[in-house]
Structure 1
Amino acid sequence: MHYKLKLLALALSVISPLTFADEIEKITVHGLQHHDDGTYTNVYLGSDVTVISNEMIQSAGGVDINKILSQFVPGLFANGRAGRHTDTDYSLQGSRPQDILWLLDGNRLNNRLYGSTYTDSINPMMIERIEVIKGSQSVLFGSEAIAGVINIITKSYQGSDAGELSLAADTLPSYDLSGFVSSEIDSFQLSLAASSSQSEGYALWPDEEYSPTAVLDKERGYQMNNLNAKLRWSLSDAQQLTVFAQYSDGLLERPLAYDAILSENDRKQTIAYADWQLQVSEQFLLQAKVNYQHWDSHYSEITLDEKGNAEVTYWQQYWGFKDLGASVTANYQTEAGSQWIFGGQYEEFEGADEVMLFTAEKDQSYSLFSQYQPEIDALPDTQLSVGARVNHLANDETIWVANLALTQDITQRLQFKASLGNGYRQPTASELHSQVGTLGNADLIAETSNSINLGVHYQGDISLTVDGFWRSIDNLIEPRAITGAEFIYDNLDARVESYGIDLHLVTELSSQLLMELSGSYASAERQDTGEQIERVPEYTGFAKLSYDVNDDIAVWVSGQYVGEFVDYGLIAGDYLLANVGIQAWITEQQDQQLSLTVDNLFDSEVTQSIFKHGHKAQYPIASLGAPRTLQLQYRYLF
């Protein structure tokens, strides 16, 4: 079956230089195979795809997913608002965070409580690779897949027993201890991973910005512990069952600049899924999946007024949710080589927030979808796919989405991609029900979108990818004033239109020196005001030089630029950070490695975001990015 073009991910590894293929190679696979990562091969057609390998993760320091994504994905802005293990602003090709769908092994991570995804509980030690797929993917994945999909793929058994131990420490100070082991016993393949992270953090604001009654401990610290297991059972030559479970337990400080002497979240999270696949024949594959996510967080806040009177504003106030999903798909390949995907999906959600004073009762949504990829003998260099999905949402709203994609080999070195599609996003529980701050509106309908992505990829002496995009969103859900100081969520008449371009260049300057350059421009304007939407920088850029001293030692230097953006009405961003690093194998067997990285080399003071208490009316304050930070990491492979 000719089912896809090789993913020419610009895999930058500082351990060994990138070797370019002489041509764009087409892979031929005879018959359908089990999907080890829970995704479908068809989704790559017409889409720009960035694959971040495990080696790239290690070269970036290996402990912070946002740092990893910022380095290697052109067009993606990943900004932890208060460092690691905190709320993060994500923007992909000019999108809002809620326009990006996050997956773990192909299973949905996004929650409908606030539309956000907290990736900080994912242990990077367990990640095999990360795939970032740009453009609308709603046909196969449903709500939120408007700007693209980010799929975190966990490690599995790799053919032999293996393990890894990692210890990292930095000057904030922070400490990260992680371990991974994988083994095969008869028909069972088992992988186990665990991690523990803690930090004293850094001060988010200058001393003069803290009120006299603010917390004395001005650094934002955290503790996060993680344990997960993955079991793959070969029931027969034609059947396999994969079961995954992860438990996370964290205590995360949330310092306030105004008057809080304590503000923290006590969080517990469980993620699990089961994936059963039956290969009926070489042409027919059945798959059934069930995924579950349970989030329990308790927020506490104690304030102190100017007279020294303490008040327990909140104490162990609950906010959390439960997500349950199930899907059944059939993947069929015709004798001529064309491929069909048919599937159905069920999702169930419930949640509550005692701080925002709402409860979201259990609701369900249902979807049916199909995608067709024809094999056209007269067009051997052309690959097409067309798909459609119908969604019945919890409010009895019905939404249709469709997608058309093309991948065309122009020459052996030049490839053209195009995709046209639409998507949707369901209202979150807070948008529907919140009783504090901006009020919920039970009459909200889903946002809908249309998008176009066009791109070319050249693979020769250099590797160059250029991807242009356009997207519009209707029925935008935004706060609307109802009185002088009261706001309510509403579907606005205003439309948001985003357009721009992503560039990515990788070239070998010599046999030992590798250069990577990337940049993006994203206009994301509200059509009623003509203003760029908040927390979306127009310009971002990244550059990196990697030099292999020999087979054991590699050094690199990088620079990252973030353009200015608006946050709570103030200007943030507009900064350039420099970073350096060195990695060295310290044994002949290359089973022990030391890495030293220095982030923010020149100790630049930058405005990373703007702080404003989410449910109080105090003034906004500029939040600082992390100071110069040295990190030392030791890895032992066995």
Structure 2
Amino acid sequence: MRHLFKLSLVSLLILGAIFQPLVKAEENRVIDDSSTDPNTMVITTSRFESNTVDLPSHVTLITQDEIARIAATNLSQVLRRVPGLQVSYTNGKTSVSMRGISAEQASSNVLVLVDGQRLNKTDLASPDLDTINIIDIERIEIIQGAASSLYGDQAVAGVINIITKSGNRQSNIIRYSQGRFDSRQAAANLAFELDEQWSLILKGDKKTSDNYREHNELDNNQLGAELHYQDSQQQWRFSYRSRNETQQTPGALLETDLADRRQSRPEFAKDYVSTDESFSRLFGQLELNSNWQFAIDLNHQEADIDSVNSFINFATTNVNQTHRTQSSIYPRVQGQWQLGQGVVRWISGIDYDESEYAFSLLARSNQQTMESLYSQLYWPLSKQTTLEIAGRLAEVEDDLIDAALYPDGVVLKNSATAYDLGLSHEFSHVLDGYIRYSNNYRFAKVDEQAYTSETVLGLEPQKGRSIEAGITSQFETSSLQASVYQLKLEDEIFFDPSATPPAGAFFPGANVNGAESTRLGLMLDYRLLIEEDELGVTYHWVDANSEPADDTVPGVSKNTITTWYDWQVAQDVSWYLEAHYRGERYQEGDTSNSLAKVDGYTLWNSALYWRLDNARIGLRVDNLLDKEYIDYAQFNGYYPAKGRDFVVTFDLVF
């Protein structure tokens, strides 16, 4: 291990030794209004299970009941309702951006986790949200805003953590669904109680679809298992999941092609992506005594990908091979002790990540090591006010080879720091407020480091500063979350089409450290209960601009609104109607704002959900009015989104 990792381990042990005996924390904040169960645990805000949300930030919690009532079959249907999130659909895949970050940059600035395991890759590939089986989700926790102190690299705009069902929280469910575009899914999630402490969960998922576009067929197969142990002092989880997927990719269309939006241009006739991927995780959490907790994550994922990737007016049949491995170890401790004015809580840990990457087309490979030490402290200044202080020190080393730019190899080293300072205040039993200042960062990915101008030897870490303030109010029949934020990024890492390309480049431009950019935003989330029905409205306004010309950040809509009505028609039947608006924006990569804008659109979606003893029947229709719209466009290449889509689901729960 390198010196930082050793120093971190020693520091962790010393800090743990000098703290006084602790007691359990008491609940002191209202969980987000989307939660109706006071016993719901939250992990993402501290990396330990807790029934409080202490983090001074806009935190959203989506429960499995909410997912079921809208008859959701994929994550994009769920996440479109969350303020601050913009969902894009490209080549049959979903990407999610936050807080004025473009879809093109989302995979580098929005951290996506499944049970704490990173889905983000060391290259620019997006986290594959569409592979997550919706029936396996217990809840979704979202930190809106910088979380670099707690999670490190790529948590610039926020964190989405998908928590799956486990142990005694698990129920058996078998699903079959069928929909338009010859879409079918058969999935099962089965739990077996071996004894009072041990349980076994088996998971399977088979999904096929022609999708909306021609030459966009999908065949996805997943198998998984989890062994779970829990007693009064500890819990352990060992999980394994494998995925095999083949998808044809229809590519972009030119504006002149949009008369037939479902077509695929001839040059993409041989394009596809075939993925073999596996994920394994060992997680343990122990009560060391009545005052201390220890947790550890051991993660490993491996992927082999074959693909053919053509461009508009440039067809190829060359099969490119990509290989990725990512391994990590995340030990951490938590302690708590009682003061007269409240409970002090301290979390500290080490994150150590190693990854390997190889891409055959460019004879590109990289070995990356990332290590960091972080700490988070909640200190009650009074019975109503809590101070949050957090910080992280991180180092990264890339051992990079690229046939064009670094044929003999190069070692690139960088370091970065992050810190948070926040205050939470309880104004009354129904109103909380907070204010928070954060420094954040991200390191350049391998694709970015290997495609820079010839005079640039490695990109500097992107650095950011954010400040936000907000309130959470929860009454008997209504709730409101409101927040304002400013996110400033320095040395922002992005692809600049006007930059000098590296030698032997396939296309103009290069990855750069850009000038400062600023995002100023407002988020609102309002829910009103009318007897057993719910009316909801979420709104996000963001003004995103880059220096020095004050250009608008491409790919970002200034206004996004979602409103819905969830009607309990009868005791076992509910009906859901939703309208989603996304405003116009510049095309991805159009940093000079010189290309035509992408039009805004409004979608109407609806769902019917019926509980009948152990059976659940759902009917969901997306894009009711068959609106023609573009979800993603880059350099005048357009990716039409789905027309009217419907799916019927049948679940057996026992």
Fold conserved between structures, TM > 0.5: yes
User: Is residue 268 from structure 1 mapped to residue 276 from structure 2 by the alignment?
Assistant: yes
Partner residue of 1:469 out of 485, 502, 505: 485
User: Is residue 103 from structure 1 mapped to residue 113 from structure 2 by the alignment?
Assistant: yes
Q: What corresponds to 1:574 in structure 2?
A: 600
User: Is residue 609 from structure 1 mapped to residue 616 from structure 2 by the alignment?
Assistant: no
Measured against aligned partners, the alpha-carbon deviations of 1:335-384 in whole angstroms (never above 9, x if no partner) come to: 533122121111111112223x14232121211111111234xx111122
Separation in 1, partners of 2:454, 2:132: 32
Structure 1 pair 548–45 and aligned structure 2 pair: CA distance change class (3 A):
same
Separation in 2, partners of 1:324, 1:181: 28
User: Is residue 448 from structure 1 mapped to residue 463 from structure 2 by the alignment?
Assistant: yes
Cα-Cα RMSD: 2.8
Measured against aligned partners, the alpha-carbon deviations of 1:104-150 in whole angstroms (never above 9, x if no partner) come to: 11222211111631222211121111101111111111011111111
Matches within 5 A, 1:345-360: 345-355=351-361, 357-360=362-365
User: Is residue 341 from structure 1 mapped to residue 361 from structure 2 by the alignment?
Assistant: no
Measured against aligned partners, the alpha-carbon deviations of 1:186-238 in whole angstroms (never above 9, x if no partner) come to: 221222221111111123xxxxxxxxxxxxxx24221111112222223x643
Q: What corresponds to 1:617 in structure 2?
A: none
Separation in 2, partners of 1:545, 1:253: 37
Partner residue of 1:399 out of 405, 412, 416: 416
Partner residue of 1:170 out of 171, 175, 179: 179
Partner of 1:2: helix, strand, or coil? coil
Deviation at 1:397, TM superposition (A): 2.2
User: Is residue 482 from structure 1 mapped to residue 521 from structure 2 by the alignment?
Assistant: no
Deviation at 1:570, TM superposition (A): 3.6
Measured against aligned partners, the alpha-carbon deviations of 1:150-175 in whole angstroms (never above 9, x if no partner) come to: 1010101236x731111111112211
Deviates most, 358-367 or 482-491? 482-491
One-letter identity of the residue aligned with 2:370? S
Deviates most, 423-432 or 359-368? 359-368
Separation in 1, partners of 2:223, 2:363: 31
Deviation at 1:417, TM superposition (A): 1.7
- Kindly indicate whether the alpha-carbon contact (under 8 Å) linking 1:471 and 1:497 is maintained by their aligned counterparts in 2: yes
Structure 1 pair 265–424 and aligned structure 2 pair: CA distance change class (3 A):
same
Separation in 2, partners of 1:440, 1:190: 55
Partner residue of 1:370 out of 369, 375, 381: 375
Deviates most, 449-458 or 60-69? 60-69
Structure 1 pair 440–250 and aligned structure 2 pair: CA distance change class (3 A):
farther
Matches within 5 A, 1:52-63: 52-63=62-73
One-letter identity of the residue aligned with 1:181? L
One-letter identity of the residue aligned with 2:68? Q
- Kindly indicate whether the alpha-carbon contact (under 8 Å) linking 2:72 and 2:620 is maintained by their aligned counterparts in 1: no
Separation in 1, partners of 2:631, 2:425: 41
Partner of 1:565: helix, strand, or coil? coil
Structure 1 pair 529–293 and aligned structure 2 pair: CA distance change class (3 A):
farther
Separation in 2, partners of 1:434, 1:403: 33
Matches within 5 A, 1:593-604: 593-604=616-627
One-letter identity of the residue aligned with 1:364? T
Q: What corresponds to 1:153 in structure 2?
A: 163
Q: What corresponds to 1:326 in structure 2?
A: 329
Separation in 2, partners of 1:35, 1:503: 21
- Kindly indicate whether the alpha-carbon contact (under 8 Å) linking 1:500 and 1:522 is maintained by their aligned counterparts in 2: yes
Q: What corresponds to 1:239 in structure 2?
A: 234
Give unpaired runs (5+ residues) of structure 2.
1-23, 252-264, 398-411, 589-594
Measured against aligned partners, the alpha-carbon deviations of 1:458-503 in whole angstroms (never above 9, x if no partner) come to: 21242111111111111112334216963222212x1111111011
Partner residue of 1:66 out of 62, 65, 76: 76
Structure 1 pair 117–629 and aligned structure 2 pair: CA distance change class (3 A):
same
One-letter identity of the residue aligned with 1:375? P
Separation in 1, partners of 2:27, 2:490: 33
Separation in 2, partners of 1:335, 1:543: 43
Measured against aligned partners, the alpha-carbon deviations of 1:381-432 in whole angstroms (never above 9, x if no partner) come to: 1122111111112133222211112221111211102221111111000001
Separation in 1, partners of 2:301, 2:30: 30
Partner residue of 1:92 out of 96, 99, 111: 99
Separation in 2, partners of 1:540, 1:34: 28
Matches within 5 A, 1:105-144: 105-114=115-124, 116-144=126-154
Structure 1 pair 88–453 and aligned structure 2 pair: CA distance change class (3 A):
same
Q: What corresponds to 2:407 in structure 1?
A: none
Deviates most, 128-137 or 510-519? 510-519
Q: What corresponds to 1:210 in structure 2?
A: none
Partner of 1:57: helix, strand, or coil? helix
- Kindly indicate whether the alpha-carbon contact (under 8 Å) linking 1:202 and 1:221 is maintained by their aligned counterparts in 2: no
Partner residue of 2:392 out of 389, 393, 397: 389
Structure 1 pair 433–44 and aligned structure 2 pair: CA distance change class (3 A):
farther
One-letter identity of the residue aligned with 1:576? T
- Kindly indicate whether the alpha-carbon contact (under 8 Å) linking 1:441 and 1:489 is maintained by their aligned counterparts in 2: no
- Kindly indicate whether the alpha-carbon contact (under 8 Å) linking 2:25 and 2:345 is maintained by their aligned counterparts in 1: no
- Kindly indicate whether the alpha-carbon contact (under 8 Å) linking 1:431 and 1:441 is maintained by their aligned counterparts in 2: no
One-letter identity of the residue aligned with 1:292? H
Partner of 2:149: helix, strand, or coil? helix
Q: What corresponds to 1:504 in structure 2?
A: 525
- Kindly indicate whether the alpha-carbon contact (under 8 Å) linking 1:190 and 1:232 is maintained by their aligned counterparts in 2: yes
Structure 1 pair 418–318 and aligned structure 2 pair: CA distance change class (3 A):
same
Partner residue of 1:283 out of 281, 291, 295: 291
One-letter identity of the residue aligned with 1:49? V
Q: What corresponds to 1:417 in structure 2?
A: 434
One-letter identity of the residue aligned with 1:455? G
User: Is residue 2 from structure 1 mapped to residue 31 from structure 2 by the alignment?
Assistant: no
Partner of 1:535: helix, strand, or coil? coil
Partner of 2:597: helix, strand, or coil? strand
Give unpaired runs (5+ residues) of structure 1.
13-17, 20-24, 204-217, 613-619
Q: What corresponds to 2:261 in structure 1?
A: none
Structure 1 pair 141–629 and aligned structure 2 pair: CA distance change class (3 A):
same
Deviation at 1:28, TM superposition (A): 13
Separation in 1, partners of 2:520, 2:326: 33
Query: TM-score, normalization: structure 2?
Result: 0.83
Deviates most, 626-635 or 528-537? 528-537
User: Is residue 313 from structure 1 mapped to residue 317 from structure 2 by the alignment?
Assistant: yes
Partner residue of 1:584 out of 610, 613, 621: 610
- Kindly indicate whether the alpha-carbon contact (under 8 Å) linking 1:534 and 1:567 is maintained by their aligned counterparts in 2: yes
Measured against aligned partners, the alpha-carbon deviations of 1:423-472 in whole angstroms (never above 9, x if no partner) come to: 1111000001249xx98964211101111111111212421111111111
Structure 1 pair 115–532 and aligned structure 2 pair: CA distance change class (3 A):
farther
Structure 1 pair 343–603 and aligned structure 2 pair: CA distance change class (3 A):
same
Separation in 1, partners of 2:312, 2:597: 30
Structure 1 pair 572–82 and aligned structure 2 pair: CA distance change class (3 A):
farther
Q: What corresponds to 1:208 in structure 2?
A: none
- Kindly indicate whether the alpha-carbon contact (under 8 Å) linking 2:76 and 2:94 is maintained by their aligned counterparts in 1: no
